C-alpha cells in the first residue's frame, strides 16, 4: 500500500520536461547556418560569373571574398549569444531528467525522501501558479530560496509576459514574431492565432478608416488564409462599409476592444499547448484531486471535525472543496478519535458501554495514568477499563 | 528514465562535436584559402573560384548531415517523451469548481508559507496578491519557529517556558511534552557530568509528574549509576540520537494543536494526496468518458482512492454485507458477538423481527437484533 507506483506518478510530469524549448533552442543556430550557407553559395556563384564575364578583376574578387569572411565572423559572434539559451535548456533538461530519475529510486510513500520530493513538487506547482497569475516576485524568491531555479520555468513566463503586455498595449507585432518562431508547431496544433492577429491588425486599420491601407493589408496578409477562413475574411472586409460605432452584427463585435483580451487568452492557451502545460494551473488540478480524495461528509459536521484534515477547515480548503465530489470507500478504516491512529489488528478498536469506539492503545494509556478509569472524550461518561469490549470490523 | 537520459546524452554529445568543429570556422577556412590562392596567383581566379564552389558544397553537405543527425535524435527523444508522459490531467478536473474562489486559494497559499516559517515569501506573496495575513497567526508561528530554532541548538529553555505556561492545555490533550522536555534537560546535565545539578533538577521538576510518569522517573534516576557507560547499559535508549528531532516534532505538533491548527500544512497534505490520487482519477475519467457519463457532476467519486494511514482523518465504515458506507440513517450496529454491520443489513438478516435469533455472517455466534447496539467511531 505504501509502495510508490513510479510509472503512474511519472506520467503526470509531461509539462516538467522542456522538450519543445530544448529542441527549438538547438534549432536556432542551425537555422542561421542553413540560411548563411544558402547566401554564401549564391554569392560565390555570382562572383564566379562576374569574374568569368570580366566585370570583376581578381583584386575585386579578393575584396569580395574578404567581405564574405567578415560576414561569417560577425555571424559567429552573434551565434555565441544564442548559445546562452541553448545552454540553459540543455542544462535544464538534464537537471529535470535527473530529478525524475532520483524519484524512481524512492521506494515508499512514507519515506523521508518521498516527503522531500513532495515538498519540491509542491513548490514547483506553487511557482507555476504564481507565474500564471503574474506574481513573479514571489515566484523568483521562492525558486531562489529553495534552490529550484532549474526546476521551474520563470524565463518562459518572462518571455510570454512580454508578448501579453504588447497585446495589452494593442500591438500585435511581438505576438506575430512569436508565431513566426513557432510556426511549425502552431500548425501541428492547428492554431488560428496568427489569423486572429492579422484580422485584428486589419480591424484597427478599418477603425481608423484607413481604407486604402486596409485593403492593401488584406491583400497581403489575409488572402493566404482564404482556403480555411473565407467567411471570416468576408466579415472583416465588411468593416470597410461600417463605421466603428455601428450597432450592426457582426461588425459591432469585431470592433469591440475586448477582442484584444481574447487574443491574449488565445496566445496563452497556444503557448501552454506547445509546452504541454495544462490549461489550468497544476495547483488547481492537483488540489481538486487531493481534496476530493480527502472529502467526507464528516468534514462538514462540527462534531466530526478533525483539525488535521485539510477539508475540515471551513475557511480555507473546506470552502474550496464545496463543489467537488466526495471520496468513495468500499473498505472500512477506523481512526481513533483520541490518538488519530488507525485501528487494526495491532491496535484493536474497543467499544465503551455507551457504544463509542476508541483504539486499545489510547484507552490503555489513559487508564494507566488514571487508576484504570476512562473518560469518554465525546460524552464525558466515565468507565472502568474492564468494561470495554472488542469490536470486530471485517 | 534511464533511456531518456541516454538519448539526451547522445544529443548533447553530437551537439558538442558540431560545436567544437564550428561549421562557420570551416566555411571561413575554405573562403580564406581561395582568397589566399587568388592573391598569390591572380591568374588562377577562375579555377580557384570553381574549387571554392565545390568545397563550399562539400563542407555544407557535411554540416547539414551532422545537423540532420542531431535533429533525428531529437525527434526520437521527444517522441519517446510524448509516449511516456501521457496523462491527460484536464480530463479529471472540473474547470469551474474553483470559480470565484481565487482569494480563498490565495490566502491558503499565504498561510502555507507563514506556517512553514517562510515569512518573507509569505509577505511577498500577500503583497503581490493584495492579501492581508492575520498578524495573530504570524506572531504565533514566529514564536513557534524561534522555539524550534532554540531546540535545534539543544537549548530547551524557551520550549520549557512555553510548555509550563500552557500546562493545562497540554494536559487536556494528554500531551507528555513538558515531562519529555524536563527529561531531556536532566539527561543533558547528566551527560555533562553535572550529577549534583541533575539531581537538584530532578528534585525540583520531577515531583509534579510523580503520579503520571512514575516508571520513567525511576529509570531516569537509576541511570545515574550507569552514566559513564550508558551506551552499553539498559538505559541506552535515554540518549538515542533522534530524541532531539522527536522533541522538535512533538513540540510543533502540540503547539499547532493548541492553537487549533493541523500539524502539517493543509496545502502540503492536500497536494501530496492529490498527486497520488491523480493517476487513478485520470484513469477513471477516461473510462467514464468512454461510457459518456460526466463524473464531476456526481456527488461522489466512482472509485476508491487509497490513502496512506497518515492522511486518513475520519473513520469510514463500509458495511461488509451491503458494501455501503454508513450514514446517519443507516448507522453501524455492533451485534452481540462484536462484529459490526449497518442497520439495514441487520434488519434484513433478522427479517424485521427484533427477537429472531440469527447467525452472524462472520462468526458462528447467534444473536438477536435487540442485542445489537449503535456504535460511534
Chain A positions in Cβ-Cβ contact with residue B311 (cut-off 8 Å): 294
Give residue-wise pLDDT tens across range A3-23. 899 999 999 999 999 999 999
With 0-12 / 13-18 / 19 or more C-beta atoms within 10 angstroms meaning exposed / middle / buried, residue A327 is buried
With beta carbons less than 8 A apart as the criterion, state whether A65 and A47 touch. yes
Record the cell numbers describing residue B222, joined without a space. Answer: 537509576
With beta carbons less than 8 A apart as the criterion, state whether A355 and B375 touch. yes
Same-domain status, B219 and B160 = yes
Mark which residues 116-155 of A lie under 8 Å from B by CB: 118-119, 121-122, 125-126, 129-130, 133-135, 137-138, 141-142, 145
Query: How close does chain B come to A385, measured CA to CA in Å?
Result: 17
Give residue-wise pLDDT tens across range B223-243. 999 888 888 888 888 887 778
**pLDDT classification of A370: cutoffs 50, 70, 90:** confident
Query: How close does chain A come to B216, measured CA to CA in Å?
Result: 12
Same-domain status, B79 and B13 = yes
Record the cell numbers describing residue A91, joined without a space. Answer: 542544462
Inter-helix orientation angle A58-104/B2-20, to 10°: 160
Same-domain status, A268 and A162 = yes
Where a domain ends, among B49, B83, B117?
A: B83
Is residue A56 a part of any domain in this protein? yes
Q: What was the ipTM of the complex prediction?
A: 0.89
Is residue B309 a part of any domain in this protein? no
Inter-helix orientation angle B157-165/B243-258, to 10°: 30
From the list A323, A342, A369, the residue facing B312 with the nearest CB is A342
Chain A positions in Cβ-Cβ contact with residue B60 (cut-off 8 Å): 37, 40-41
Give residue-wise pLDDT tens across range A242-300. 999 999 888 999 999 999 999 999 999 999 999 999 999 999 999 999 999 999 999 99
Is residue B298 a part of any domain in this protein? no
Other residues' Cβ atoms within 10 Å of the Cβ of residue B311: 20
- The pLDDT of residue A176 is 97
- The pLDDT of residue B338 is 93
Instruction: Show the low-confidence residues of chain B (pLDDT under 70).
Output: 294-298
Contact between chains at A288 and B93 (C-beta distance less than 8 A): yes
**What number is the average pLDDT over the span A364-384?**
87
Is residue A111 a part of any domain in this protein? no
Contacts of B335 (CB under 8 A, 6+ apart): B341, B346, B360, B365, B367, B371, B372
Q: What is the DSSP letter of B237?
A: G
| Residue in B closest to A289 by C-alpha | B274
- The pLDDT of residue B319 is 94
β-sheet bridge partners, residue B359:
B366
Nearest C-alpha neighbor of A281 from the set B90, B53, B228: B90
Chain B positions in Cβ-Cβ contact with residue A66 (cut-off 8 Å): 35
Q: What is the DSSP letter of B318?
A: B
- The two most distant CA atoms of chain B are separated, in Å, by 124
- The pLDDT of residue A81 is 80
Same-domain status, A172 and A253 = yes
Same-domain status, A310 and A357 = no
- Please, what is the average pLDDT of chain A? 92
Is residue B119 a part of any domain in this protein? no
- The pLDDT of residue A128 is 97
More confident residue, B354 or A180: A180
**Residue of B97, B176, B338, B367 for testing the chain A interface, max A β-carbons within 10 Å:** B97
- The pLDDT of residue B229 is 86
Other residues' Cβ atoms within 10 Å of the Cβ of residue A39: 12
Record the cell numbers describing residue A96, joined without a space. Answer: 529535470
Where a domain ends, among B258, B289, B306?
A: B258
CA gap B93, B212 in Å, rounded = 51
- The pLDDT of residue B296 is 54
Same-domain status, A100 and A1 = yes
B334: domain CATH number is 3.30.40.10
β-sheet bridge partners, residue B150:
none
Contact between chains at A331 and B318 (C-beta distance less than 8 A): yes
From residue B31, alpha-carbon distances to A61, A228, B36, B50, B66 in Å are: 11, 47, 9, 12, 21
Query: How close does chain A come to B203, measured CA to CA in Å?
Result: 21
Is residue A142 a part of any domain in this protein? no
Same-domain status, B171 and B253 = yes
Same-domain status, A303 and A378 = no
Q: What domain count does chain B have?
A: 3
Chain A positions in Cβ-Cβ contact with residue B24 (cut-off 8 Å): 33, 36, 72-73, 75-76, 79
Is residue A135 a part of any domain in this protein? no
Size of interface A-B (CB pairs under 8 A): 385
Is residue B118 a part of any domain in this protein? no
A374: domain CATH number is 3.30.40.10
Q: What is the DSSP letter of A219?
A: I
- The pLDDT of residue A254 is 93
Nearest C-alpha neighbor of A217 from the set A241, A235, A233: A233
Inter-helix orientation angle A112-132/A154-168, to 10°: 20
Is residue B146 a part of any domain in this protein? yes
Same-domain status, B236 and B325 = no
- The pLDDT of residue B297 is 55
Q: From its phi and psi, is residue B168 left (phi > 0), alpha (psi between -120 and 50) or beta?
A: alpha
Q: What domain count does chain A have?
A: 4
Same-domain status, A22 and A70 = yes
Same-domain status, B240 and B343 = no
**Residue of B270, B294, B330 for testing the chain A interface, max A β-carbons within 10 Å:** B270
CA gap A300, A323 in Å, rounded = 13
From the list A137, A286, A306, the residue facing B271 with the nearest CB is A286
Same-domain status, B160 and B219 = yes
Query: How close does chain A come to B73, measured CA to CA in Å?
Result: 10
Is residue A342 a part of any domain in this protein? yes
Tell me the residue range of the domain where B242 lies.
134-258
**What number is the average pLDDT over the span A49-63?**
88
**What number is the average pLDDT over the span A120-147?**
96
CA gap B356, B368 in Å, rounded = 6
Specify the 3-state DSSP secondary structure of B330.
coil
CA gap B223, B209 in Å, rounded = 18
- The pLDDT of residue A369 is 73
Give residue-wise pLDDT tens across range B331-360. 999 999 999 999 999 999 988 888 889 999
Other residues' Cβ atoms within 10 Å of the Cβ of residue A301: 12
Nearest C-alpha neighbor of A148 from the set A121, A172, A166: A121
From the list A20, A118, A138, the residue facing B128 with the nearest CB is A138
Mark which residues 275-334 of A lie under 8 Å from B by CB: 276, 278-280, 282-294, 296-299, 304, 306-313, 315-317, 319-320, 323-334
**What number is the average pLDDT over the span A181-202?**
94
Nearest C-alpha neighbor of B368 from the set B353, B2, B376, B204: B353
Is residue B215 a part of any domain in this protein? yes
Mark which residues 87-106 of A lie under 8 Å from B by CB: 90, 93-94, 97-98, 100-101, 104
Helix (H) or strand (E) holding B316: none
Q: Long-range contacts made by residues A305-309, C-beta under 8 angstroms, separation at least 24? A: A306/A335, A306/A340, A306/B313, A306/B314, A307/B257, A307/B260, A307/B261, A307/B262, A308/A340, A308/B262, A308/B263, A308/B264, A308/B269, A308/B313, A309/B262, A309/B313, A309/B314
Same-domain status, B145 and B218 = yes
Report the percent of chain A where pLDDT is more than 70: 100
- The pLDDT of residue B214 is 85
Same-domain status, A315 and A379 = no
With beta carbons less than 8 A apart as the criterion, state whether B186 and B194 touch. no
> Torsion angle of alpha carbons A170, A176, A177, A180, nearest 10°?
170
| Residue in B closest to A22 by C-alpha | B74
Same-domain status, B149 and B234 = yes
Is residue B97 a part of any domain in this protein? no
Same-domain status, A178 and A252 = yes
From residue A156, alpha-carbon distances to A18, A161, A272, A280, B115 in Å are: 10, 9, 10, 17, 30
Tell me the residue range of the domain where A245 lies.
156-275
Chain A positions in Cβ-Cβ contact with residue B307 (cut-off 8 Å): 293-294, 333
Nearest C-alpha neighbor of B267 from the set A282, A86, A310, A351: A310
Is residue B351 a part of any domain in this protein? yes
Same-domain status, A356 and A379 = yes
Same-domain status, A250 and A308 = no
| Residue in A closest to B79 by C-alpha | A19
Same-domain status, A270 and A168 = yes
Same-domain status, B153 and B253 = yes
Is residue A242 a part of any domain in this protein? yes
| Residue in A closest to B82 by C-alpha | A14
Same-domain status, A319 and A339 = no
Contacts of A34 (CB under 8 A, 6+ apart): B64, B67
Is residue A129 a part of any domain in this protein? no
- The pLDDT of residue B298 is 63
Contact between chains at B81 and A279 (C-beta distance less than 8 A): no
Record the cell numbers describing residue A191, joined without a space. Answer: 492554431
Chain A positions in Cβ-Cβ contact with residue B63 (cut-off 8 Å): 33, 37
Record the cell numbers describing residue B166, joined without a space. Answer: 500552557
Amino acid at each position: 500500500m505504501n509502495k510508490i507506483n513510479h510509472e503512474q506518478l511519472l506520467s503526470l510530469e509531461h509539462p516538467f520536461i522542456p522538450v519543445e524549448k530544448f529542441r527549438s533552442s538547438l534549432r536556432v543556430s542551425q537555422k542561421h547556418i542553413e540560411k548563411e550557407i544558402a547566401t554564401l553559395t549564391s554569392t560565390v556563384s555570382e562572383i564566379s560569373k562576374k569574374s568569368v564575364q570580366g566585370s570583376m578583376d581578381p583584386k575585386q574578387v579578393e575584396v569580395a571574398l574578404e567581405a564574405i569572411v567578415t560576414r561569417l565572423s560577425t555571424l559567429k559572434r552573434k551565434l555565441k549569444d544564442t548559445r546562452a539559451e541553448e545552454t540553459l535548456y540543455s542544462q535544464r533538461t538534464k537537471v529535470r531528467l535527473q530529478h525524475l530519475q532520483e524519484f524512481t529510486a524512492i521506494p515508499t510513500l512514507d519515506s523521508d525522501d518521498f516527503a522531500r520530493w513532495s515538498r519540491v513538487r509542491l513548490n514547483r506547482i506553487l511557482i507555476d501558479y504564481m507565474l500564471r497569475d503574474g506574481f513573479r516576485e514571489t515566484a523568483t524568491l521562492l525558486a531562489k530560496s529553495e534552490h529550484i531555479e532549474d526546476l521551474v520555468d520563470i524565463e518562459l513566463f518572462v518571455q510570454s509576459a512580454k508578448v501579453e503586455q504588447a497585446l495589452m498595449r494593442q500591438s500585435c507585432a511581438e505576438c506575430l514574431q512569436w508565431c513566426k518562431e513557432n510556426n511549425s508547431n502552431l500548425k501541428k496544433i492547428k492554431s488560428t492565432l496568427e489569423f486572429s492577429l492579422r484580422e485584428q491588425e486589419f480591424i484597427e486599420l478599418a477603425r481608423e478608416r484607413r481604407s486604402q491601407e486596409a485593403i492593401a493589408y488584406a491583400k497581403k496578409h489575409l488572402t493566404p488564409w482564404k482556403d480555411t477562413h473565407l467567411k471570416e475574411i468576408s466579415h472583416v472586409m465588411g468593416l470597410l462599409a461600417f463605421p466603428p460605432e455601428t450597432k450592426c452584427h457582426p461588425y459591432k463585435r469585431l470592433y469591440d476592444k475586448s477582442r484584444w483580451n481574447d487574443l491574449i487568452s488565445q496566445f496563452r492557451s497556444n503557448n501552454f499547448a506547445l509546452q504541454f502545460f495544462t490549461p489550468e494551473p497544476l495547483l488547481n488540478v492537483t488540489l481538486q484531486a487531493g481534496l476530493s480524495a480527502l472529502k467526507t461528509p464528516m468534514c462538514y459536521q462540527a462534531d466530526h471535525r478533525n483539525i488535521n484534515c485539510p477539508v475540515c477547515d471551513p475557511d480555507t480548503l473546506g470552502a474550496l472543496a464545496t463543489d467537488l465530489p466526495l471520496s468513495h470507500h468500499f473498505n472500512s478504516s477506523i481512526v481513533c478519535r483520541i490518538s488519530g491512529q488507525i485501528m487494526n489488528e495491532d491496535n484493536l478498536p474497543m467499544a465503551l458501554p455507551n457504544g463509542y469506539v476508541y483504539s486499545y492503545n489510547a484507552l490503555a494509556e489513559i487508564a494507566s495514568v488514571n487508576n484504570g478509569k476512562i473518560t469518554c472524550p465525546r460524552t464525558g461518561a466515565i468507565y472502568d477499563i474492564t468494561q470495554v469490549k472488542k469490536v470486530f470490523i471485517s | 528514465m534511464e533511456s531518456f537520459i541516454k538519448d539526451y546524452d547522445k544529443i548533447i554529445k553530437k551537439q558538442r562535436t558540431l560545436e567544437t568543429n564550428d561549421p562557420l570556422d570551416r566555411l571561413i577556412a575554405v573562403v580564406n584559402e581561395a582568397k589566399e590562392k587568388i592573391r598569390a596567383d591572380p591568374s588562377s581566379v577562375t579555377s580557384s573560384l570553381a574549387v571554392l564552389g565545390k568545397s563550399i558544397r562539400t563542407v555544407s553537405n557535411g554540416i547539414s548531415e551532422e545537423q540532420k543527425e542531431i535533429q533525428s535524435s531529437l525527434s526520437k527523444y521527444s517522441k519517446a517523451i510524448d509516449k511516456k508522459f501521457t496523462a491527460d490531467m484536464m480530463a479529471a478536473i472540473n474547470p469551474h469548481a474553483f470559480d470565484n474562489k481565487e482569494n480563498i486559494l490565495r490566502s491558503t497559499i499565504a498561510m502555507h508559507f507563514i506556517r512553514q516559517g517562510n515569512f518573507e515569501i509569505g509577505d511577498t506573496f500577500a503583497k503581490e496578491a493584495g492579501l492581508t495575513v492575520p498578524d495573530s497567526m504570524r506572531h504565533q508561528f514566529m514564536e513557534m519557529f524561534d522555539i524550534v530554532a532554540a531546540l535545534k541548538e539543544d537549548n530547551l529553555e524557551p520550549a520549557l517556558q512555553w510548555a509550563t505556561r500552557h500546562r493545562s492545555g497540554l494536559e487536556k490533550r494528554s500531551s507528555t511534552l513538558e515531562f519529555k522536555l524536563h527529561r531531556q534537560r536532566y539527561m543533558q546535565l547528566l551527560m555533562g557530568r553535572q550529577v549534583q545539578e541533575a539531581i537538584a533538577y530532578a528534585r525540583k521538576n520531577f515531583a509534579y509528574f510523580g503520579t503520571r510518569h512514575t516508571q520513567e522517573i525511576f529509570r531516569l534516576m537509576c541511570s545515574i549509576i550507569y552514566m559513564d557507560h550508558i551506551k552499553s547499559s539498559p538505559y541506552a535508549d535515554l540518549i538515542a540520537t533522534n530524541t532531539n528531532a522527536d522533541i522538535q516534532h512533538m513540540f510543533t505538533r502540540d503547539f499547532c494543536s493548541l492553537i487549533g491548527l493541523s500539524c502539517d500544512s493543509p496545502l502540503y497534505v492536500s497536494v501530496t494526496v492529490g498527486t497520488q490520487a491523480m493517476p487513478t482519477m485520470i484513469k477513471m475519467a477516461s473510462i467514464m468518458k468512454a461510457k459518456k457519463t460526466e463524473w464531476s457532476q456526481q456527488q461522489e467519486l466512482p472509485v476508491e482512492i487509497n490513502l496512506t494511514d497518515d492522511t486518513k482523518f475520519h473513520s469510514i465504515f463500509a458495511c461488509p454485507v451491503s458494501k455501503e458506507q454508513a450514514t446517519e440513517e443507516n448507522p453501524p450496529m455492533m451485534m452481540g458477538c462484536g462484529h459490526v454491520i449497518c442497520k439495514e443489513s441487520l434488519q434484513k438478516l433478522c427479517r424485521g423481527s427484533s427477537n429472531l435469533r440469527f447467525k452472524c455472517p462472520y462468526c458462528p455466534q447467534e444473536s438477536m437484533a435487540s442485542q445489537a447496539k449503535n456504535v460511534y467511531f
